[in-house]
Amino acid sequence: MTSSRVELHSDGILINGEPLILLSSSLFYFRIPAFEWRSRMRSLRRLGYNAIDVYFPWNYHELAPDQWDFSGERDVRDFLQQASDEGLWVIARPGPYICSEWDGGALPAYLCTIPGLRLRDNNPEFLQAVKKWFDRILPILVEFQVERGGPIVLVQLDNELDFYDCTDRTGYMTALRDMALQQGITVPLIACSGQGDIPGATGNVEGVAPACNVYFDPRDPQLEPRVRHYSKTLRAQGLPLCVIETNRSHTDLRRLLAGGAK
């Protein structure tokens, strides 16, 4: 899978033609006062991180049906510009479902009042609602893609769909992919699995690269073999192993890198 400036290969990730290990920490603008954004970014740089991943919660920006707010504490452009200024790459995660222990996984509550709507599925009513969200958030992400001089190098669609009882994973992920492409997303699209079920998370959709969430007992001696299995599986598809979420220990991070995570 390639784009003009970011490439995913079996051996790793290339950005602007250079191989790079993305060492990323979650940094969520909606949980941090705006005046603290830059200091948190600088703290991460001092710790050795070169990237952040960030969700964009739909119901944080749509305050009521068709009432949108991207100002002040919700100023996504300002957050992304600060990340760029501080030299951090960005993995953007606009959902529509984000999990993140956030109310409704960021899906607006009013969706549940729409007749015939099935959440997180290849359902016309749901996808029509998602399009309204994507029509607003994706153009902002397009502005900050790496090929435009910005920090965004990957865009994640949905989140841990393998945990959800989706009736048509392929149709749903295809619809999300097509919306992203139509809006001008050119960096690689990814979808993360929460339990190692790659088809369950991606629908095996062309143009959506699998990523994995790997949580484990730090004393587990089988971690490296398990990670190497993931790495081998993805290498056979010409892709690197991207671990989007893991434990909060640098020792665990080193073990994942030793197993082939990029």
pLDDT tens profile 102-152: 999 999 999 999 999 999 999 999 999 999 999 999 999 999 999 999 999
Please, are residues 134 and 183 in contact by the beta-carbon 8 Å criterion?
A: yes
> Residue 254's pLDDT is what?
86
Q: How many CB atoms lie within 10 A of CB 112?
A: 10
> Residue 3's pLDDT is what?
44
Which residue in 158, 243, 248, 246 sits closest to 203, CA to CA?
A: 158
> Residue 2's pLDDT is what?
38
> Residue 39's pLDDT is what?
98
Q: Which two tokens stand for residue 220?
A: 């587990």
Please, are residues 137 and 61 in contact by the beta-carbon 8 Å criterion?
A: yes
> Residue 140's pLDDT is what?
98
Q: How far apart are CA 234 and CA 253, in angstroms?
A: 19
Weakly modelled stretches of the chain, pLDDT under 50: 1-3
